[in-house]
Amino acid sequence: MEQVKNPWEPVQTFSNTQTPRLARGKELHVKNGDFGILTTQVNKIIEWGRSSSLWPATFGLACCAIEMMATSADRFDLARFGAEVFRASPRQADLMIVAGRCSIKMAPVLRQIYDQMPDPKWVISMGACASCGGVFNNYAIVQGVDKIVPVDIFVPGCPPTPEMLLFGFNELQRKIREGIPNPPDPLKDSGLKLVGPIGEEL
Amino acid sequence: MRQQEIENYYTIEESEPLGDRQHVDTMTINMGPQHPSTHGVLRLILTIEGEMVVKAVPDIGFLHTGIEKTAEAKTYHQALVLTDRMDYLAPLCNNLGYALAVEKLLGIEDEVNDKIKYTRVLLTELQRIASHLVWLGTHALDLGAMSVFLYCFREREMILDVFEYVSGVRMMTSYICPGGLQADLPPGLDQKVRAFTDVFPARLQEYHDLLTNNQLWLERTKGVATLNADDAIAYGASGPVLRSSGVVWDIRKAFPYSGYEKFDFDIPVGSNGDVYDRYLVRMLEMDQSLNIVNQALEGLPPGPHRVLNPKVAPPPKWQITGSMEALIHHFKLYTEGYRPPKGEVFVRTESPKGELGFYIVSDGTAKPYRMHVRAPSFANLEALPLMVEGHFLADVVSAIGSIDIVLGEVDR
Amino acid sequence: MAITPLTTVETVRGKFSQAIVEITDFRGEQTIVLKPESLVAVCTYLQKRLQYTFLSTITAVDWPERVPRYDVVYQLLSIPNVSELRLKVRVGALGEEHPSLPTVTSVWPGANWYEREIYDLFGILFDGHPDLRRILMPMDWTTHPLRKDYPLTGFDLPEPYWGGQVPYDTDPGVGSQTLRTPGGRELNESRSKINPEREPGTPRP
């Protein structure tokens, strides 16, 4: 009997430059031993549900956090996309918006908060500083948080306007709905141990 | 005073029969750096006994950005963009402080015309209102009033629209630069500003109606986290924190800069130095800022938006397109920069948080040899243990909100 | 007599003529360069007698080719007299790794954090400081980034830096209590002393 495929197996490999899209027009029901129509449709519903009720962790670091607050306020209204529930505890959140520059002192904290979030989880790197260090190419700032956590969406700008964050958010929703997996964890296979404030070895 | 409170607390405890309790237990808890009420990445190590904070130790540096070091590698004009990102609730006030310091270093203070001065005052006072609005929204949110946050951001968006109209950017404008303004004011600015100033008094009254006499608000703020005037001065607290303790001190009145001596405004001063007084001082300051904005808008004279000194300001656009010398001059000014004489200046301005000082040392080259920023939040935060020790744990949130720290400025 | 920067300079010149190295005036700002040993005496006099009760900031400037190497700069402000003054002290002998200087926290308590910041970023020690720890950089950082011989982008560190080291091994803590010990890295110091058999939820022996 053929091995049952893992439904969470990556359907496409991750691309750094371009967010992949699934091929359209694929037949849903083919009798070849794969999952049938019921399973795929249920997955779609689950993914739709996940993408429509993302709960961000309140993780404001610097300037971009103010724009993130403006995004959740009344004019731009992140609640339209089901993400108004900013959770103070990472244990209740599944989206981390890294809003602002991450210093070397903050890096272990950032990683720990990411590790505390339950799977499945996503990361949006908001702003130039979080994405690549921005104007601060110096001793104190991590040159891109994708060195610590896998980043799903990079939003450029200094700071990005709320519209840009909303666009990045919609792109993330599309990634979730199309089943595109998270990028690989930068620290997973590096052999480096990251020790956070509590002392868990990860 | 604070010591007395702690002693009183212990005296009461000791006079009670201990029963089966052998000693009074303290517990050390960690607050932050990821905490919704720390306004960024502040970490506090609190020793509590029951609900009472015995000792509070702030741990900062989680947003240390190396701005002072980076500025040493940039020309004077390039370093301007770094100043935006320190106090990110009031970027234009940082720009103004930096621009004034560099102008003083260059010795071109007298060449700055009234149009530049009035525009700077207009924009920084709008920025002060915007900063106080964010403070009010988040402070009220911390204490449980969600709707104020939404109202405050509604008005803040109107101010950001003005900034976007003027400079093209919502937050980090870098619009005020050494030697004037980055660009001329767009036509129709006064209508944009008036759209805000017309509605804002009624909105401000709305906040007063929501909070000022609200019993819940009074319970959380009255008599909480007091700081007396002597302590405030000794610890270098400034701005609304100092004024709420009863010290009449405003840099705009004491060392008038950028033409503030021509404006008519009052300094709101508190008396008790508690959270409620800090709240009221800021609320009344918004009123005064609105007053200044109106005066600046009425008195805004026409004129060039840059000083006419060719050492600092580039030639106008029509000359660059027509003259090779002007093009070369423009190119050299932006690639090499200008060279102030050897020396050092310290310029203090009144930012929404307090006394913002820029200490710039020049060694005669085109890059600042050393730029140090006297950040108001840094000193105000240093006084936080004085405010919270001997109070309840829940009041720590209220105290942090009331001193209005911005960690980008504390850590720089 | 009204106290202005100029009268302050004259008063200090009269009172502490031995302590003054140099007096400069640039763009109307008065700077008094003092000898390090008389710093606290002059500061106390200014604070007590001339009402310079407000310390705006303390900072340092690094001049690597010069001996003494560092300028430590004090910005004073007198609120009643609306007067400002700058004091400066030059420290750092040739090849001295950590020059030292008396603290002024006894004069202005707010100097505490500024001196910690200078220690952190320049490596200047302050004798008699109550709590001289790093304030901005991680606790295990070994270098002083604002020195001129420190490269802007930092020295080569393992990438990522925090992977190879433990940024949290020193905790500021409170008194004898710390959130964790350097060796054991437990949540609380006293946790290691608990007998697991006596912990709640476990049956008693």
Of these ranges, A94-108, C162-176, C177-191, the one predicted with the greatest mean pLDDT is: A94-108
**Partner residues linked to B49 by β-bridges:** B52
Alpha helices, H only, B240-301: 240-244, 251-254, 275-299
**Nearest CA among B263, B276, B112 for reference residue B208:** B276
The answer to whether the CB of C115 falls within 8 A of the CB of C107 is no
Average pLDDT of chain C is 76
Which residues from B are below 8 Å from C174, CB to CB? 28, 45, 47, 55, 57
Cβ contacts below 8 Å, chain A against chain B, sum to: 96
Strand order in the sheet with B354-362: B343-351, B354-362, B370-374
Q: What is the pLDDT of residues C50-88, one digit of tens each?
A: 889 999 999 999 998 888 889 999 999 999 989 999 999
In this structure, the number of other CB atoms found within 10 A of the CB of residue C41 comes to 15
d(CA C181, CA B171): 43
Task: Tell if the CB–CB gap between C168 and A148 is shorter than 8 Å.
Answer: no
pLDDT at residue B103, as a whole number: 93
d(CA B278, CA B273): 7
pLDDT at residue B5, as a whole number: 57
pLDDT at residue B54, as a whole number: 86
Task: Tell if the CB–CB gap between C174 and B57 is shorter than 8 Å.
Answer: yes
Q: What is the pLDDT of residues B77-90, one digit of tens each?
A: 999 999 999 889 99
- The rounded percent of chain A whose pLDDT value lies above 90 is 14
| Residue B192 burial (C-beta neighbours within 10 Å; 0-12, 13-18, 19+) | middle
Mean pLDDT, residues B275-281: 92
Read off the pLDDT band of B24 (50, 70, 90): low
Cβ contacts below 8 Å, chain A against chain C, sum to: 57
d(CA A95, CA A151): 11
Is A39 a residue whose pLDDT tops 60?
yes
| d(CA B266, nearest CA chain C) in Å | 18
Any idea which residue has 């509604």 for tokens? Answer: B154
pLDDT at residue C204, as a whole number: 45
Q: What is the pLDDT of residues B118-145, one digit of tens each?
A: 999 999 999 999 999 999 999 998 888 8
Residues 276-335 of B with CB under 8 A from C: none
Q: Which of B14-18, B298-302, B316-320 has the lowest mean pLDDT?
A: B14-18
**Which contacts (CB < 8 Å, 24+ apart) does range A115-118 have?**
A115/A196, A115/A200, A115/A202, A116/A90, A116/A91, A117/A57, A117/A90, A117/A91, A117/A93, A118/A91, A118/A94
pLDDT at residue C115, as a whole number: 92
Is C183 a residue whose pLDDT tops 90?
no
| d(CA A91, nearest CA chain B) in Å | 13
Task: Tell if the CB–CB gap between A108 and C164 is shorter than 8 Å.
Answer: no
pLDDT at residue A1, as a whole number: 53
Rounded to the nearest 10 degrees, what angle do helices B114-142 and B189-207 cross at?
30
Instruction: Report DSSP state, residue B30.
Output: E
pLDDT at residue B13, as a whole number: 45
pLDDT at residue B351, as a whole number: 92
Read off the pLDDT band of A190 (50, 70, 90): low
Residues whose CB is less than 8 angstroms from the CB of residue B143 and which lie 6 or more positions away in sequence, other chains included: B217, B220, B221, B397, B398, B401
Is C194 a residue whose pLDDT tops 70?
no
| Residue B402 burial (C-beta neighbours within 10 Å; 0-12, 13-18, 19+) | buried
Of these ranges, A33-37, B5-9, C180-184, the one predicted with the greatest mean pLDDT is: A33-37
d(CA C79, CA B238): 11
DSSP string, chain A: -PPPPPTTS-SS---SSS---PPTT--S---SSS--HHHHHHHHHHHHHHHHS--EE--B-SHHHHHHHHHHSTTT-GGGGT----BSSGGG-SEEEEES--BTTTHHHHHHHHHHSPSS-EEEEESHHHHH-TT--STTB-S-GGGTS--SEEE-SSSPPHHHHHHHHHHHHHHHHTTPPPPPPTTTSS----B-SS--B-
Hey, what are B18's tokens?
A: 């201990």
Q: What is the pLDDT of residues A148-157, one digit of tens each?
A: 888 999 999 8
Is C129 a residue whose pLDDT tops 50?
yes
- The rounded percent of chain A whose pLDDT value lies above 70 is 73
A-interface mutation test, from B45, B65, B127, most A Cβ less than 10 A away: B65
Mean pLDDT, residues C150-176: 46
Task: Tell if the CB–CB gap between A70 and B157 is shorter than 8 Å.
Answer: yes
d(CA A186, CA A192): 10
**Partner residues linked to C62 by β-bridges:** C70
Read off the pLDDT band of A82 (50, 70, 90): confident
Query: Number of helices and strands (H, E) in chain C?
Result: 4, 7
pLDDT at residue B115, as a whole number: 92
Mean pLDDT, residues B236-241: 91
Q: Is the CB of residue A148 less than 8 Å away from at least one CB of chain C?
A: yes
Is B19 a residue whose pLDDT tops 60?
no
Cβ contacts below 8 Å, chain B against chain C, sum to: 110
Q: Which residues of C169-202 are buried (b: 16+ CB within 10 A; e: fewer)?
A: bebbbbeebbbbbeeebbeebeeeeeeeeeeeee
pLDDT at residue A195, as a whole number: 46
Residue of A nearest to C157 (CA): A139
CA distances, C10 to each of B131, C4, C131 (Å): 42, 10, 35
Any idea which residue has 């709960």 for tokens? Answer: A55
Read off the pLDDT band of B373 (50, 70, 90): very high
Read off the pLDDT band of C150 (50, 70, 90): confident
The answer to whether the CB of B288 falls within 8 A of the CB of B128 is no
Q: What is the pLDDT of residues B387-409, one digit of tens each?
A: 888 888 888 989 998 988 888 88
Question: Within its chain, how far is the Cα of B109 from the centroid?
Answer: 23
Average pLDDT of chain B is 87
Q: Which of A101-110, B272-281, B321-330, C184-193 has the lowest mean pLDDT?
A: C184-193
Any idea which residue has 């744990």 for tokens? Answer: B393
This model of the complex carries an ipTM of: 0.87
Q: What is the pLDDT of residues C130-147, one digit of tens each?
A: 888 888 888 777 788 888
The answer to whether the CB of C92 falls within 8 A of the CB of C144 is no
Read off the pLDDT band of B146 (50, 70, 90): confident
Q: Is the CB of residue B47 less than 8 Å away from at least one CB of chain C?
A: yes
Mean pLDDT, residues C18-38: 90
Read off the pLDDT band of A199 (50, 70, 90): very low
Read off the pLDDT band of B49 (50, 70, 90): confident
pLDDT at residue A16, as a whole number: 45
Is C156 a residue whose pLDDT tops 70?
no
Residues 145-164 of B with CB under 8 A from C: none
Q: What is the pTM of this model?
A: 0.84
Average pLDDT of chain A is 77
Which residues from C are below 8 Å from B369, CB to CB? 61
pLDDT at residue C178, as a whole number: 34
Which residues from A are below 8 Å from C152, CB to CB? 137-139
- The H or E element spanning position B84 is helix B80-84
Read off the pLDDT band of B15 (50, 70, 90): very low
pLDDT at residue C45, as a whole number: 92
Mean pLDDT, residues A168-194: 77
Task: Tell if the CB–CB gap between A135 and B70 is shorter than 8 Å.
Answer: yes
Which residues from A are below 8 Å from C164, CB to CB? 192
pLDDT at residue B2, as a whole number: 56
Which residue from A138, A140, A193 is facing C163, i.e. has the nearest CB? A193
The answer to whether the CB of B185 falls within 8 A of the CB of B122 is no
Higher-confidence residue of A202 and A167: namely A167
Mean pLDDT, residues B9-23: 47
Which residues from A are below 8 Å from B134, CB to CB? 66, 69
